[in-house]
Structure 1
Amino acid sequence: MRKLLLLLTIVFVGLVFIARLFYLQVYNEDSYSLLDDNAIRKVYDYPKRGYVYDRNGKLLVANQPSYDVMFIPREVKEMDTLEFCNLLKITKEDFINFYNKAYRYSPRLPSVFIPQLSRIEYAVLQEKIRKYEGFYIQKRSLRDYQTNIGANVLGDIGEVNNYIIENDPYYKSGDLIGKQGVELSYEEVLRGVKGIKFIQKDRFNRDIGPYKEGIYDTLPVPGKDISITIDSELQKYGELLMTQKHGGIIAIEPSSGEILAMVSAPSYNPNLLVGRQRSRNFSKLYNDTIAKPLYDRSLQAQYPPGSPFKVLTALIGLQEKVVTTQEQFTCRHGYYLGNRRLTGCHSHASPLAMNTGIAQSCNAYFVNVYRRIIEKYAKPKEGMDVWSNHVKSFGLGNYLGYDLKIGNKGHIPDGDFYDKWYGANRWSSTYNISNSIGQGEVVATPIQLANMVAAISNRGYFYTPHIIKQIEGGEIDKKYTTPNYTTIDKEHFEPIVQGMFDAYNVGTAATLRVPGIDICGKTGTAENFMKIDGKTTQLTDHSIFVAFAPKDDPKIAIAVFVENGYWGSRFAGRIASLMIEKYIKGNVTMTAMENWILTHSLENEYAKPYSGKPFGINRESALQVIDKIKPDTTSNPINAPSPFKLN
């Protein structure tokens, strides 16, 4: 019996092994992988990264050869480390740190020891690399920026981090990846596909030739070239005009949503983030907390939009049928509630109708329209929701969906916002009249305002702003060629367009006219508050300007923000006019205006901890607005962002 049991046990175990082997060889989908075979060395062949061209075919980004010193930690043998360190111009401590870091990553996988050798360094090391077992040189491409502009647009490439390696099997230690701008947004298009060679090793871990005569080797697939929508000459001119100024410029082609210029100032030369000095230069840029050159103000900075926002108040008033284009309102240098002035206004004719209200940028006019919109409904929350939905249909208060990886959504309040702040049915339109003139709780980014103007120039629709124009052998996403319609009927736009046209001819922008071009625009001056030593302090106002041209066949829509720029027509308006003339005519004739911009700096403004000027016409009213809006985590459950934040 015992013999039979032993026999049965042996047979059973044998059947189990046979079944398992059969399963592994026939049914198991986890096939053998050369990539996991320790007896085979893998050598990657990196593809040419795709080139980047501007909308006119000008080459912006190409490639240059680079050489990385690679090594496999466990294959490193006893060597003359002093000689090796001298060749690479590193210390012995550096050698130990590099080795230990790579060993922790993987003792058997290749790691970069020293990246991006120059041609001279490569030539010196190439002759002696055979002396250092476990080390080899791998060729790859670095970016070669053919321009010194558009750093925020083009971006850069850098070494992948551990998070990327763990979450994307394509990337290995030492690989390069797009970090910002177009390089990041179109990484998968530009990078191509790595090739690979499998090298057979003998039992002494020596290379003996291609594995199976190279039948499993693959060639690299080059990245695809792309054309972006940027006009490099317009971009260059915009960056020139923003010298010694902080802010952003966004120019859009209304008929397509293509971004013509995307200026963030201050900026930097994109070539600073190429090569072995990339890390050091990046640290310097990152630690510049005053200029913030890595902070893309055109997409990320959030400002009170100021008076350009008034045109939306007018459009919503017409759509909601609470005002006509002929109805007039009185302005007594501001808007009064009883005997109390809630907002001031500059001198102009009164009373005035919609057209003159836009051209002269009358605060009182738009406060009256705003109150009617909110108070049209039984409860202020309902009116606030209607107003909010109209505004958001222009792309404000949310991410626009453009093809760049960074940005902020700004803020457009609704009824729930104020219910949570003040309590349900415990507030009215007088609590937030600053919204009517682009202050209060309204916050927008430059690209949102440019998109808003593009929608107005198109009389009610816009295309999602985008930076990609063409992909070699591919198509761009259809969402960029599909129009987005606002909630405002088409017939209401013409009076607004005429008002913006009059602003450029007889209104607040009359000094900014460009000969031979019919421009529609709107000046803006936004109050600028920030916390300094725990106290809310008013700094010099922001200068804002939006415009499109020509009036009846728009080719360009533009928004310009200049931080601490005093008032709309002083800096932003001049810059917008010059940019429009440059794009439409191809040259600039207004040389006096150009010289003024190029010779006036705002660096002194940015160096001041505060402006030192008084809070304005009505200091008491201003302080009440500040106190009302200031976030308070104890009483405000949603901890709303301050609309007076500088950036």
Structure 2
Amino acid sequence: MLENRKYVIIGVFCLVAVAYLARLFYLQVLDDTYSLGASKNSIKRVIEIPYRGQIYDRNNKLIVYNTPVYDLYVTPKQVRIPDTAAFCRMMDITQSDFDSVMGLAKNYSPVKPSLFLRQLSKEDFARIQDALVDYRGFEPVISSMRTYPAHTMANALGYVSEISKKRLEEQDIPYYRQGDYVGHNGLEEQYEEQLRGKRGVKFMMQNVRGVNKGSWKNGAYDTLAVAGQNLITGIDVEVQRYADSLMQNKVGAVLAVEPSTGEILVSVSAPTYDPNLLSSRFFSKNYRALIKNPYKPLINRPIMASYRPGSTFKLIQALVAQQQGSLFPNTVYGHAGSPMRCHCHGGNNLRGAVQNSCNPYFYYVFRKFLYFNGEHNTFKASAIGLKQWHDMAEKFGIGSKLGVDLPSELKGNLPTPEYYDKAYRGALRWKFSNVYSLSIGEGELLISPLKLVNLAATVANRGWYITPHYIKGFDKAGDGLPTEYRERHETGIEYKYYLPVIDGMRGAVAHGTVTPLANIEGIDLCGKTGTSQNAKFGHKFDHSIFIGFAPMNDPKIAVAVFVENAGWGGKAAASVAALVAERYLKRKTEAKKLEEQVLASNYMPPASSLITPKKPAPSKKDTTQKAAKPFMTSTKPKSTTTMGAISGN
């Protein structure tokens, strides 16, 4: 019995010994974890940055590509510079810049490489390459820089720059490191994940002096970098550049959309800048200059600017009133009794009212809409009617974000009864006479050029739209297009109600409020002019607006144009829109006289008028006064008091 117990104990010890030996064999022979950790001082982990995806237009023309450049890294402990002044002259930097960068590098780590100079061109690197052998501690690393051959679409494209500290700290899944480049604003930010690709890792052996001795374990643990996906946009870069030229010496926006797909064909924010300015190592200097520019070229006006839509909003008034049943195509209104002035003669039906942009006509259309609910209390009737009006207008994408594939889209303002309840400090304290400026697109309405081009596309489609978007696909058209850019949005307005409105829009271009030269033969342009109130802000002229589409019965392009401080919508904005539509449809410009006029026109306000003077600091006597409240928070809306002087065309 004791003999058997002895063998059991010996067996247990043998099993434990075998287990230990097996574990030691695994750790020392099979597993490289500890080997890699022990050799970290002799094995260098090199991150391979992938090439960022390129950006193309709808015709596969390059808009953005990558140019190879060199980044120069420094390891402070290894640095040997016999003549600092000569070194600074060679690098084309100042002594103070050198001291600053070296100080930052030493604070980061004396023994690890950190960035010394970024984005040296091939020519610059070739100039210093041979001389670098005399300066220990500096190592070049090949990189890439975004290049913009078309020199256009700066605001929509965005730019690529070093990741901010805040964004670095807010990462949900750690990916970026200090010094990494990421997309900012525009498409570069919107599609950062697809464009950036996937980084790779290489393990390199090096001796005690840091000299590379080849790949570790023949690259068994290396991973290859995967290039980012190429982004195909719906932009027509030829028409885009032509629209840029038309907006020289002007402030505003031009947007064009393909109605059947919602693809954005043209996106101009004026004044603009060359996107290459923000892709060089002089980024900081150029960015500061753009920030200080009084014309605000960094603002992406197509999606970030808010304007009153003016008479272009009459299209929505005509459509929702017909759907409600309070308006018919043969309904005629005169000017009698209207507080609004108008340039045309009274007695228009719906087609004539759209063609001539008759203010009194739409004053009566809006009034009847609000009181059509049968409520006898005028205060309550206005609230009920305005709620119905708001809900119907909202289906055109007004008053909320459309969802364009760019960051920073503003939603604008489509007033609700609650909005006026707050403005007038209580429900049932306002009525139609307080809000009638909405009838011609003024008052508290705020809208972006994006919303108006979407309205033009909706009318062109006779009742539906696809959310405007820049993307056409990744690597090829249609590949990876998000589902939200395939979905049709219905307005709830019947097809038949669009027909008299479109007839009026065609009449506006052919013999209405649009300058005759903009009625270009062969494109069959339909449109609506608008003039957005602006004089109250100290400017001499209002904003010129035009929206339209062409051809009339087979729409291929919808256009919206804003030209700030240009006055009448039928001249400045309509002329630009007509030329853009012609260039897209015909691929050439035949309306040379109109083009000559547009190119020669200059509506740029003096830079001095755009700089807001600083208010003097309040005196001690003023310190007890309450701060002024913003417009519309505690006072009655002011815009309705001046409607008699508005033309609205």
Tell me: CA distance 1:120–1:550, structure 2 relative to 1, closer, same or farther (3 Å): closer
Correspondence 1:479 to 2:484? yes
Farther-moved stretch of structure 1 (212-221 vs 562-571): 212-221
Tell me: CA distance 1:551–1:635, structure 2 relative to 1, closer, same or farther (3 Å): closer
Q: SS at 1:432's partner residue? A: helix
Q: Which position in structure 2 is the counterpart of 1:421?
A: 423
Counterpart of 1:384 (choices 380, 383, 386) is 386
Q: Which position in structure 1 is the counterpart of 2:244?
A: 239
Q: Which position in structure 1 is the counterpart of 2:315?
A: 311
The answer to whether the Cα contact below 8 Å between 2:57 and 2:235 also exists between their aligned partners in 1 is yes
Q: SS at 1:381's partner residue? A: helix
Structure 1 residue 317, shift from structure 2 partner: 0.8
Structure 1 residue 252, shift from structure 2 partner: 0.4
The answer to whether the Cα contact below 8 Å between 2:53 and 2:231 also exists between their aligned partners in 1 is yes
Tell me: CA distance 1:42–1:80, structure 2 relative to 1, closer, same or farther (3 Å): farther
Task: Write the mapping of 1:399-438 to structure 2, written as runs, cut at 5 A.
Answer: 399-422=401-424, 423-438=426-441
Task: Write the mapping of 1:547-626 to structure 2, written as runs, cut at 5 A.
Answer: 547-604=548-605, 608=609
Tell me: CA distance 1:139–1:204, structure 2 relative to 1, closer, same or farther (3 Å): closer
Task: Write the mapping of 1:60-209 to structure 2, written as runs, cut at 5 A.
Answer: 60-72=63-75, 75-77=77-79, 79-80=81-82, 82=84, 83-104=86-107, 110-127=113-130, 129=132, 134-168=137-171, 169-200=174-205, 209=214
The answer to whether the Cα contact below 8 Å between 2:515 and 2:574 also exists between their aligned partners in 1 is no
Q: Which position in structure 1 is the counterpart of 2:6?
A: none
Q: Which position in structure 2 is the counterpart of 1:228?
A: 233
Correspondence 1:457 to 2:463? no
The answer to whether the Cα contact below 8 Å between 2:515 and 2:570 also exists between their aligned partners in 1 is no
**Counterparts of 1:37 and 1:505 in 2: how far apart (Å)?**
81
The answer to whether the Cα contact below 8 Å between 2:311 and 2:530 also exists between their aligned partners in 1 is yes
Correspondence 1:364 to 2:360? yes
Q: Which position in structure 1 is the counterpart of 2:624?
A: none
- Opposite residue 357 of structure 2, the aligned amino acid is S
Following superposition, which runs of at least 4 residues in structure 1 exceed 6 angstroms of deviation? Answer: 31-37, 203-206, 638-644
Give the TM-score of the pair, scaled to structure 2. 0.83
Tell me: CA distance 1:250–1:640, structure 2 relative to 1, closer, same or farther (3 Å): farther
- Opposite residue 414 of structure 1, the aligned amino acid is T
Q: Which position in structure 1 is the counterpart of 2:258?
A: 253
Structure 1 residue 544, shift from structure 2 partner: 0.5
The answer to whether the Cα contact below 8 Å between 1:46 and 1:139 also exists between their aligned partners in 2 is no
**Counterparts of 2:203 and 2:590 in 1: how far apart (Å)?**
63
Q: SS at 1:344's partner residue? A: coil
Structure 1 residue 355, shift from structure 2 partner: 1.2
**Counterparts of 1:189 and 1:640 in 2: how far apart (Å)?**
46
The answer to whether the Cα contact below 8 Å between 2:456 and 2:549 also exists between their aligned partners in 1 is yes
Correspondence 1:444 to 2:447? yes
- Opposite residue 325 of structure 1, the aligned amino acid is P
The answer to whether the Cα contact below 8 Å between 2:457 and 2:465 also exists between their aligned partners in 1 is yes
- Opposite residue 360 of structure 2, the aligned amino acid is A
- Opposite residue 365 of structure 2, the aligned amino acid is V
Q: Which position in structure 1 is the counterpart of 2:222?
A: 217
The answer to whether the Cα contact below 8 Å between 1:111 and 1:174 also exists between their aligned partners in 2 is no
The answer to whether the Cα contact below 8 Å between 2:156 and 2:300 also exists between their aligned partners in 1 is no
**Counterparts of 1:387 and 1:356 in 2: how far apart (Å)?**
23
Q: Which position in structure 1 is the counterpart of 2:512?
A: 507
Give the TM-score of the pair, scaled to structure 1. 0.83
Q: Which position in structure 2 is the counterpart of 1:58?
A: 61
**Counterparts of 1:34 and 1:412 in 2: how far apart (Å)?**
63
Q: SS at 1:148's partner residue? A: coil
Counterpart of 1:351 (choices 347, 351, 359) is 347
Correspondence 1:525 to 2:516? no
**Counterparts of 1:125 and 1:194 in 2: how far apart (Å)?**
29
Farther-moved stretch of structure 1 (559-568 vs 89-98): 89-98
Counterpart of 1:270 (choices 270, 275, 278) is 275
What RMSD in Å do the two structures reach over aligned CA positions? 3.0
Structure 1 residue 208, shift from structure 2 partner: 5.1
Tell me: CA distance 1:455–1:274, structure 2 relative to 1, closer, same or farther (3 Å): same
- Where structure 1 has 5 or more consecutive residues not aligned to the other structure, the ranges are 1-17, 26-30, 532-536, 611-630
Structure 1 residue 492, shift from structure 2 partner: 1.6
**Counterparts of 1:129 and 1:504 in 2: how far apart (Å)?**
67
- Opposite residue 313 of structure 1, the aligned amino acid is Q
Q: Which position in structure 2 is the counterpart of 1:8?
A: none
Count of residue pairs the alignment pairs up:
583
**Counterparts of 2:631 and 2:565 in 1: how far apart (Å)?**
32
The answer to whether the Cα contact below 8 Å between 1:539 and 1:564 also exists between their aligned partners in 2 is yes
Structure 1 residue 218, shift from structure 2 partner: 1.7
Tell me: CA distance 1:510–1:147, structure 2 relative to 1, closer, same or farther (3 Å): closer
Structure 1 residue 594, shift from structure 2 partner: 0.9
The answer to whether the Cα contact below 8 Å between 1:345 and 1:363 also exists between their aligned partners in 2 is yes
The answer to whether the Cα contact below 8 Å between 1:35 and 1:42 also exists between their aligned partners in 2 is no
1:300-324 superposed Cα distances (whole Å, 9 cap, x missing partner): 1111110010010111111111122
- Where structure 2 has 5 or more consecutive residues not aligned to the other structure, the ranges are 1-19, 28-32, 612-627, 643-649
Structure 1 residue 126, shift from structure 2 partner: 3.5
Tell me: CA distance 1:136–1:257, structure 2 relative to 1, closer, same or farther (3 Å): same
**Counterparts of 2:515 and 2:549 in 1: how far apart (Å)?**
15
Structure 1 residue 462, shift from structure 2 partner: 0.3
Structure 1 residue 539, shift from structure 2 partner: 3.1
Q: SS at 2:427's partner residue? A: coil
**Counterparts of 1:286 and 1:641 in 2: how far apart (Å)?**
32
**Counterparts of 1:410 and 1:494 in 2: how far apart (Å)?**
28
1:53-72 superposed Cα distances (whole Å, 9 cap, x missing partner): 11112122222111001235
